[in-house]
Structure 1
Amino acid sequence: MNTGHRTGYDAELQRHDQVLRRACDIRPHDHVLDIGCGTGHTTRQAARTAREGGALGVDVSAPAIERARELALGEGLRNVTFEHADAQAHRFPQERFDLAISRFGTMFFDDPVAAFANIERALRPAGRLVMMVWQSGERNEWDVAVRRSLAGPGGPAAVSTGPDPFSLADPPAVRRILDTAGYTGITFTDVHEPVCYGPDVTAALEWVRGFTCTGETLKRLNPAAAAGALERLREELSAHLSDDGVWFDSRAWLILPVAGAQRGLRRLR
């Protein structure tokens, strides 16, 4: 579980990447759409495998897309492109992609039915969507630990007003969303892999301070209370330090729906 002494989103999810790559089973001629690609790590991986096809990564963060383009250029990848776009409304070419993938990038849609229907239209008949999303917060040790540290003994629970990373945690609800959006053959696989927050406690604390929940909570606290929260967080991270870095248990869903359930009806309209 060597982190390579890196800190960041790609280092955090290194074990999940292995699961996602196996599930995607990308072929050399595939055309791949990466939803919520961030700085393009998974997009570039897809492009290297789909060497006779290609990959398109989209994300709502303009700085992330700019960085993704720089990294792809530096790696000399010619079959990968990136667009600053919201997958919920972006006008993708219809029936263009063999596969849509997402590593924790589909939980933040304002209208998930509309978003997944839009992605479904971009897939070829029987094209696949392979996405990973978090299970509920209480099943993720990292979320429990961070919120407990920020709240302190008897303190109010740490809450975030930002997007909910656990919005797709409930399989029956997600199944209804995807069914309405036009998918079929929907399966859920439990992914039980740890996340890495950094090679040491100092790096891990800096990474966790960047979380929306952490930042919003610290802003609401007075200086003394904020210092206490950070010290509790440092102690929590220290308790999870091993020779390979700071690791926390996590649970995710690997969801594999297939596009095309309503293609025939749509063509008749």
Structure 2
Amino acid sequence: MRAAPEPFLHAQQLARAGRLGEARAAYAHSLETHPDFLPGYLALAGLAAHQGDTAAALAVLRAALARAQGNAAARHAIRRPLAELLAPLRPTSWDARLAADIGACLADDQLDPQPLARVAAALLLHADDREPLWPLFLTRCINTDPAIETRLVALRDALTATGDTPPLLPALALQAFASQYVWPAPDQPPTGLAEALVQPPTRFGEGPAWQLLAQRVREATVERELAAALPGFAAPQGLSAQVQRQYEAHPYPRWQAPPASRRTDFRPLLEALPGVDRAGLPPAPLSVLIAGCGTGYEAIDLARMDPSLSVTAIDLSRASLAFAQRKAQELGVTNLRFFHGDILALDRLDETFDVATSTGVLHHMANPHAGLASIVRTLRPGGIVRLALYSRRARAPVRAAHARIAERGWQADDAGIRAFRAHVLTLPEDDPLALLRQSDDFYSISGCRDLAFHVHEHHYTFPEIAALVAGAGLRLVGFDASPEALARFHEAHGPGADPLDLSLWDEVEAHHPYLFAGMIQFWCQLAM
């Protein structure tokens, strides 16, 4: 690795000392004398972004990209922070330079494209159909903008009516496939290659976009073969069997880009949890259970992050597991096993683990206490469990959706989901259900079913979470919160307040009910 130049090291010292203005000037001087030193650009851009100067940070990263022509690894390292800067932007007019930035990030197949969907859509609202950003957006992202959806549906209907095959057809077909044909059906069935706009195609045109669509269709066949061969330990029963049927029909989420490969030792991350008993932690190498892995994003992330881990992932949906296994095989992940079975029957695995995670799973069980107890019984003394559960306050729009769905009699099939979405898209902004349009999940069949049509879900208050943890013989040792949530917490309770005090979080959430619109995520430890 190239040694850091002295001006860069001096700038780092200033930044560590909190002298940020001087540090920023020093980083700029470092780049003047050492213009090919990539970390200098990343540090200067990061500091400018930290100070709220997004325009300057973007300018630095653009300069870095220009300097890194021909160096694929360097360009990827630059595009990652560039994408993070771009994602929150909402342009109100056309900006060719911004379009080039977004296009550069979407062209990097190692970056997760979905966080860029909203900024790309906001920009494309001001572009005609010939703009080169369109095919990149349609093939890499799932659209999450209602106005863009209206435009895409109109384009699809025009194509189905005329039978034309313009250059944008395969990209639009990829978009329709990725969203699982969530848009309303056209008035007349399409013919020829345009059939790919309303159903998985059996024939394809020429060119990269058609080849990519053919690959996506083949992947579905591979997954069916993998699903049939998966080892299992217990068939789901009762409500678990109903949940299983949902995810067999609609695996969720069907993610594209793999998790960023962040090579690091996992055990020090556990040791850093603020309330953990470090002496009681099991020794490395660690074995990890993913209890309810879905389509495998978290399991693959952990396995790639620390190859010393032995990761076992279970789920009740063979279709979801097959998606996960295909992705793991494509990425060359070898320290990860998949099993089909029910969390309530984990004892049949006849294994114990040092760490368990269960993200967005227990709240879909008939008896979450029993599900957590089953997970805890697999933990070794001092073991860690990470949980993520729905917030009762934040899920208020979803409860309103459940009531509206029951009132209208919509079924949890493709037709019912499309009818529900059509209804929500017509609602005024002040309707409680209009908030659902802000969720990425609203824009695909499997996502919308998970969001609003789930077979069963329980929503938690902070006192209920405290009771769940205590009832399982666990102790809260860590709490994951966004920067916004932490800022609200310290604003309400002061910088010295204990973030492991759930009663304090309950007070904060009472004033900011959508603070945990994703899930409430926390870490617990089993007593020795």
Give the shorter-chain TM-score range.
0.5 to 0.7
Judged with a 3 Å threshold, the aligned counterparts in structure 2 of structure 1 residues 186 and 112 are, in CA distance, closer, same or farther, namely: farther
CA distance in 2, matches of 1:6, 1:23: 34
Identity of aligned residues (%): 22
Aligned residue for 2:366, secondary structure, equals: coil
Mapping of residues 160-239 of structure 1, within 5 Å: 160=453, 162-164=455-457, 167-185=458-476, 188-191=479-482
Match of 1:9 in 2: 253
Corresponding residue for residue 45 of structure 1: 301
Distance change (3 Å), C-alpha of 1:26 and 1:55 = farther
TM-score (norm 2): 0.32
Partner AA of 2:357 in structure 1: I
In the TM superposition, residue 9 of structure 1 has moved relative to its aligned partner by 2.8
The answer to which structure, 1 or 2, has the higher relative contact order (CA under 8 A, 6+ apart) is 1
Q: 2:522 aligns with which of 239, 255, 258?
A: 255
Question: Does the CA-based 8 Å contact 2:469-2:476 persist in structure 1?
Answer: no
Aligned residues of 1:134 and 1:251 also touching (Cα < 8 A): yes
- Is the 1:26–1:46 Cα contact (8 Å) retained in structure 2? no
Q: Distance in 2 between matches of 1:26 and 1:188?
A: 12
Q: Deviations over 1:202-257 (max 9, x none)?
A: xxxxxxxxxxxxxxxxxxxxxxxxxxxxxxxxxxxxxxxxxxxxxxx934311211
Matched, 1:115 2:371: yes
**Quick check: 1:139 aligned with 2:388?**
no
Residues 70-81 of structure 1 aligned to structure 2 (within 5 Å): 70-81=326-337
Q: 8 Å contact 2:397–2:432 — kept in the other structure? A: no
1:68 alignment partner, SS class: helix
Per the TM alignment, residue 173 of structure 1 is displaced from its structure 2 partner at its CA by 1.3
Give the Cα separation in 2 of the matches to 1:53 and 1:100. 12
Corresponding residue for residue 208 of structure 1:
none
Q: 2:424 aligns with which of 125, 149, 153?
A: 149
Contact 2:288 2:311 in 1 (8 A): yes
Q: Which has the higher strand share?
A: 1
Partner Cα separation in structure 1 for residue 473 and residue 254 of structure 2: 31
Preserved contact between residue 388 and residue 520 of structure 2 (Cα < 8 Å)? yes
Distance 1:95 1:60, change over 3 A: closer
What amino acid does structure 2 have at the position aligned with 1:173? E
**3-state secondary structure, aligned to 2:313:** strand
Alignment partner of 1:39: what SS? coil
5+ long unaligned stretches in structure 1: 194-248, 264-269
C-alpha contact (below 8 Å) 1:192/1:252 kept by paired residues: no
Residue 25 of structure 1: CA displacement?
2.8
Moved beyond 6 Å, runs of 4+: 21-24, 144-148, 153-159
8 Å contact kept, 1:100–1:129: yes
1:125 to 375, 381, 388: 381
Q: 1:82 aligns with which of 314, 338, 347?
A: 338
Check conservation: 1:134, 1:252, Cα contact below 8 A: yes
Structure 1 window deviating more from structure 2 (84-93 vs 144-153): it is 144-153
Counterpart of 1:25 (choices 269, 274, 290) is 269
Contact in 1 for aligned 2:291/2:358 (Cα 8 Å):
yes
Shift of 1:82: 0.7
Letter of the 1:139 partner, please give it. A
Distance in 2 (CA, whole Å) between partners of 1:23 and 1:141 is 37
Q: Which one has a larger percent helix, Structure 1 or Structure 2?
A: 2
Q: Displacement, 1:119?
A: 0.6
Q: Rate the CA distance shift 1:181–1:39 in 2: closer, same or farther, 3 A.
A: same
Q: Deviations over 1:49-82 (max 9, x none)?
A: 2312311111111111122122212222111001
5+ residue gaps, structure 2 = 1-83, 88-111, 114-139, 143-251, 272-283, 405-422, 437-451, 485-515
Tell me which structure has the larger Cα radius of gyration: 2
Partners of 1:30 and 1:98 within 8 A in 2 = yes
C-alpha distance in structure 2 between counterparts of 1:121 and 1:107, whole Å: 19
- Offset, 1:150: 7.0
Listed one character per residue, the Cα deviations across residues 127-152 of structure 1 (whole Å, up to 9, x for unaligned) are 1111222322x536974897792794
Q: C-alpha separation between the residues in 2 aligned to 1:192 and 1:145?
A: 28
CA contact (8 A) 1:186 1:256 kept: yes
**Structure 1 residues 191 and 104: alpha-carbon distance in aligned structure 2, compared to 1, 3 A threshold:** farther
